[in-house]
Each structure stands twice: as C-alpha cells, then as structure tokens.
A = this chain, B = another copy of it.
C-alpha cells in the first residue's frame, strides 16, 4: 500500500502475548504451526526513532508496521522527495531489485515486525505459503499504487489534501479522541502530493475555515466533518466522461 492508498483497513492485533506467535496480518494467514514457528524465529520487532532510516545493519528490511509511520523518501542530487507514506499495518518491502535511492524513514517512534530482506528471501524459499501471501500483497499493492497515482495525476489540490487527511485519519493519536497527527511538515506534504508548501497550507486552512477540520497545532488536527472530506476527495463523482 503506497502513499494514501485508501483501501486497506489495517488489521493488526498487537502480538497477543503468549497465544499468537505472529501478528494477525495477511502476510501470515494460512500458515501451519511449524511454519509460524520458523518465521517467528527469524522475525522480530525492531524499533526506530523519528527520522531514522529503516535499515538492519545497513541492509533493507521486510516487515509489517506495528506502530508509528514511515515515509518513503527518494534522494536525487541534493534534494529529497517524499514519495510515499506507510502507516500501521502496512507492509514494508524493499521496493524491488532496483532500489534506486528510495529509502524508508521513520516519521515517529516506529515498531516494525520483520527481518532483513536477505533472510526474508530465504524464508520465502522455505515456506511456499508465505511466498503466495507475499505475492498477493505485492500484487495488491501494485494495483493500489497504480490506482492511487492514476488519480493523483488528475486530482486538484484540495482533492489531494483531503485524500491525505482521510488516509491519516485511520490512525488517530491513541487516547486523544479523533485527534490526528499529520506527521509531516507542509513542505513534505507538498513533496508527497506534488504540490507547493504554500498551496498545502492554503488548502488545510481552507478546510479549517470551512469547519471540516479543527487545527490544534500545525500538525495536529481533528476531523469534524468526515463526510465533507470524503466529498472533497472527488473520488465519487469523477465521471468526467472520457472516451
């Protein structure tokens, strides 16, 4: 699931103590006890601080986000572009053979249940069922990514911002009722959505003035009128009839 993918409702059970070896995630469905055991031996929870690159001894990793959030950033020259956002329950994958400078970075204190890409490859060979699950996830992600970016290329600024807020609203700050953390500066939101910082700021303020959201601090907001936000994404009436 890439940036803002609207589909996947996160379904992570927080490692229920002694009863389950693995979190409840699509990656692990349908595995027998022995297979689960094998995976549990290799996988473990890794924690990253805000801003830390998601690497295990300098190598990429594969896993499932348990808490926190990641940004996929791409370095080209001096500049840095945010090209994707991964939230709780999303699969972290090393983005294919050609990593091409794209790197995952923690946006918060983040816990990932996973292992190194290398070990994961070995696991895939050993556990065919895991391979099928992984393939499904990657294929689904491909589909979602395609869909998302196809829309993104055609969305207006307010539509993009609404989509992002909606995606983030799945993940509210624990405790504080409905309050969500944007996690990113205006500049990085812009980089993610293909907009300029100023435009992002204007759109967020516009939603605030319209009473759709409430701003507590620049990065902490609360959604007041979810229906309005959904409408603002423009996902429904995109019937611009093209041949």
Q: Interface of A with B (CB < 8 Å)?
A: 2, 7, 74, 76-81, 83-84, 93, 95-98, 100, 102, 124-125, 128, 131-132, 134-136, 138-150, 152-154, 185, 187-188, 190-191, 193-194, 238-243
Interchain residue pairs with CB less than 8 A apart (14):
A78-B241, A79-B243, A83-B146, A83-B150, A95-B139, A95-B143, A95-B146, A96-B139, A98-B143, A102-B147, A125-B128, A138-B142, A149-B150, A185-B243
Give the docked Cα–Cα distance between A231 and B65 (Å): 40
Question: A239's contact among B77, B95, B144, by CB below 8 Å, is which?
Answer: B77
C-alpha gap A140/B93 in the complex (Å): 12
* Least distance between A111 CB and chain B CB atoms (Å): 24
User: Which residues of chain B come closer than 8 Å to A97, judged between CB atoms?
Assistant: 136, 139-140, 143
Give chain B residues whose Cβ lies under 8 Å from the Cβ of A240: 79
Contacts of A100 in B (CB 8 A): 143, 147
Judge whether A81 and B242 touch: CB under 8 Å. yes
| Cβ-closest 4 pairs across A and B | A149-B149, A96-B143, A153-B194, A79-B241
Chain B nearest CB from A80 CB (Å) reads 6
- Determine the residue in chain B with the shortest Cβ distance to A140: B96
* A187 B242 Cβ-Cβ under 8 A: yes
Bound together, the chains give a CA A101 to CA B76 distance in angstroms of 35
User: Beyond A96-B139, A138-B138, is A146–B84 a contact (Cβ under 8 Å)?
Assistant: yes
Expressed in whole angstroms, the Cα–Cα distance for A207 and B103 within the complex equals 36
CB pair A96–B142 under 8 Å, yes or no, is yes
Q: In the complex, A76→B230 CA distance in Å? A: 18
Measured between beta carbons, the chain B residues less than 8 angstroms from A187 are 242-243
**Contact partners of A124 in chain B: CB under 8 A:** 132, 135
Give min CB distance, A5 to chain B, whole Å. Answer: 11
Q: Determine the residue in chain B with the shortest Cβ distance to A94.
A: B139
Contacts A97-B136, A140-B97, A191-B243 given; does A146 touch B238 at CB 8 Å: no
Asked if B98 and A140 sit within 8 Å, CB to CB, the answer is: yes
Contacts A124-B135, A148-B149 aside, 4 further interface pairs with beta carbons under 8 A come to A93-B139, A141-B142, A153-B153, A191-B242
How close is A195's CB to chain B, nearest CB, in angstroms?
9
Minimum CB–CB distance from A48 to chain B (whole Å) comes to: 20
| B-side contacts of A194, CB under 8 Å | 153-154
